[in-house]
Amino acid sequence: MKKVALAAAAGLVALVSRAAAEERVVCTLAWELGSTEPLVSEGECDTRMSSASTFKIAISLMGFDSGILSGPDLPEWPLVEGYADWRPEWKRPQTPRSWLKYSVVWYSQQITQRLGPERFESYVHAFGYGNEDVSGDPGKSNGLTRAWLSSSLQISPQEQVAFLGRMLEGELPVSEEAVAQTRAILDHRVQPEGWETFGKTGAGLPFGPDGTHLKGQPFGWYVGWAEKGERRVMFARLSRFDARPERTPGEIARDGLLGYLFASDGPLS
């Protein structure tokens, strides 16, 4: 009986902690393609953070450009024992489409391993992606499979938007087909006034002053772009939380940013 009471109390504390988690928006940035000034620039938009799952946009470009990926539903790869499978959606075969939908870590790692360290690093440098550091965790030589997972590869909202702008302008060293296929598997949403959005969430743990992760204080990303006719507007939001929120940090960043951009009095209304 005592164990049941303790478990219930612990659950209540966890629920209260999550409900009390406060979001601090580090940066909200929106920039129309071809413009010399941002449409919106609020906060510390030059602050770098781990790219986390937003890096899947870059991995997708690499995968389609190299021929490792061939379409939204090909290849389908099976789950193998030892793969990261801590979410129920990851415990099944995956395609490029389901990889991005469920943000499947092991599928990303299979792509980068097939690329190999030299091609992977070459793409990151050619993309000018953030700090371009794919070394991974200090002393572990795991950059090929972990550099973007709260590790060495860091990027700012400004750099996220600039990377997406280069992609949309055709300035990255990848094929037009790679860009088109990546667009096809990103989260696609219909917005008011004829806008459509394409984006990717991300979340992880930031580093503290001593270089260790700040456990229980996650960050959340949402990056992508909006389309309407010939207009293209790249966007990024980075948020920090003082405790683990009830919903995923990336979802909170996504819903907050889209709600702001497409509100009746918002920048894209």
Domains and CATH numbers, the chain: 20-261 (3.40.710.10)
Could you give the C-alpha distances from 88 to 18, 102, 108, 188, 222, in angstroms and in order? 21, 10, 17, 23, 23
Report cis status (omega within 30 of 0) of the bond before 75: yes
Q: Rounded CA gap, 203 and 53, in Å?
A: 7
pLDDT digits (tens, 9 = 90+) for 18-56: 456 899 999 999 999 999 999 999 999 999 999 999 999
Model-wide pTM > 0.85: yes
> Going edge to edge, which strands form the sheet with 187-190?
40-43, 23-32, 231-241, 219-228, 196-204, 187-190
| Number of Cβ atoms within 10 Å of the Cβ of 256 | 17
- Report which of 92, 89, 142 is spatially closest to residue 117, judged by C-alpha positions: 142
Report DSSP letters for 69-128, one per residue: --BTTB--B---TTS---SGGGSS-B-HHHHHHHT-HHHHHHHHHHHHHHHHHHHHHHHT
Active-site annotation holder among 53, 98, 103, 156: 53
- Do 28 and 43 touch, CB atoms closer than 8 A? yes
pLDDT band at 210 (very low <50, low <70, confident <90, very high): confident
What does the chain come to in residues? 269
Question: Is there a catalytic annotation at residue 53?
Answer: yes
pLDDT at 3: 38
Residue 8: band (very low, low, confident or very high) from pLDDT cuts 50, 70, 90: very low
The CA-to-CA distance between both ends of the chain, in Å, stands at 57
